[in-house]
A and B are shown apart, each in its own frame.
Chain A
Amino acid sequence: MMAGFYTVISANNLVKKVVGLNIFQTSVFMLYISMGKVDGGTAPIVADGVSLYSNPLPHVLILTAIVVGVATTAVGLSLIVRIKQAYGTVEENEFQNKDDAI
Chain B
Amino acid sequence: MFEQHLAVLPIIIPLIAAPISLILGRSILSWLLATFASAWACYASWQLLAATLSDGVISYAAGGWQPPWGIEMRVDTANAFILLAVSAISTLVLLYSKDSIEKEIKAPQHSLFYTAHLLCLAGLSGILITGDAFNLFVFLEISSLATYTLVSLASDRRCLTAAFRYLVMGTVGATFILIGVGMLYMKTGTLNMLDLAARIDLYDSSRTINTGLAFIMVGVSIKLALFPLHMWLPAAYTHAPSAVTAFLASTATKVAVYVMIRFVFTVFGIEHVFEKMGMNYILMVLAIVAIFKCSYMATVQSNVKTVLAYSSVAQIGYMVLGISLVSATGLMAGLIHIFNHALMKGALFMAVGAVFYRMGSVDIKAFRGLGKQMPWTMAAFAIAGLSIIGVPLTAGFVSKWYLVVGALEQSNWVVAALVLAGSLLAVIYIGRVLEAAYFQKLPDSEDPNKIKEVPLLMLIPMWVLVIANIYFGIDTSLTTEAASHSAEWLFETNQLKEVSP
Binding site for B on A (CB under 8 A): 5, 8, 14, 17, 21, 24-25, 28, 31-32, 35, 58, 61, 64-65, 68, 71-72, 75-76, 79-80, 82-83, 86-87, 95, 97, 99-102
Contact = CB atoms under 8 A, between A and B. Distances in A.
B182 interface: yes
Given A35-B185, A75-B145, A80-B164, A28 B158 contact: no
B161 interface: yes
Contacts of A21: 168, 171-172
Contacts of B185: 32, 35, 58
Given A58-B185, A65-B178, A83 B138 contact: no
B179 A28 contact: yes
A-B complex: 8 closest residue pairs judged by Cβ atoms: A86-B157, A68-B141, A102-B165, A83-B160, A35-B186, A79-B164, A100-B161, A102-B161
A82 B152 contact: yes
A28 B175 contact: yes
Q: From A76, A79, A99, name the one whose CB has the most chain B CB atoms within 10 angstroms.
A: A79
Interface residue SS majority, chain B: helix
Contact of B160 (A32, A79, A99): A79
A31 B182 contact: yes
B134 interface: yes
Given A75-B148, A79-B160, 9 more contacts: A14-B164, A21-B172, A24-B172, A35-B182, A35-B186, A68-B174, A72-B171, A82-B160, A102-B165
Nearest to A97: B158
Given A35-B185, A75-B149, A79-B152, A86 B160 contact: yes
Interface of B: 134, 137-138, 141, 145, 148-149, 152, 157-158, 160-161, 163-165, 167-168, 171-172, 174-175, 178-179, 182, 185-186, 191, 235
Contacts, number: 78
B161 A101 contact: yes
Interface residue SS majority, chain A: helix
Q: From B158, B165, B171, B172, name the one whose CB has the most chain A CB atoms within 10 angstroms.
A: B171
Contacts of B235: 99
A99 B158 contact: yes
Given A24-B172, A35-B186, A72 B158 contact: no
Contact of A95 (B145, B161, B174, B186): B161
17 contacts: A24-B175, A28-B179, A31-B179, A35-B185, A68-B137, A68-B174, A76-B164, A76-B168, A79-B163, A82-B160, A83-B161, A86-B157, A87-B160, A87-B161, A97-B158, A100-B158, A101-B161
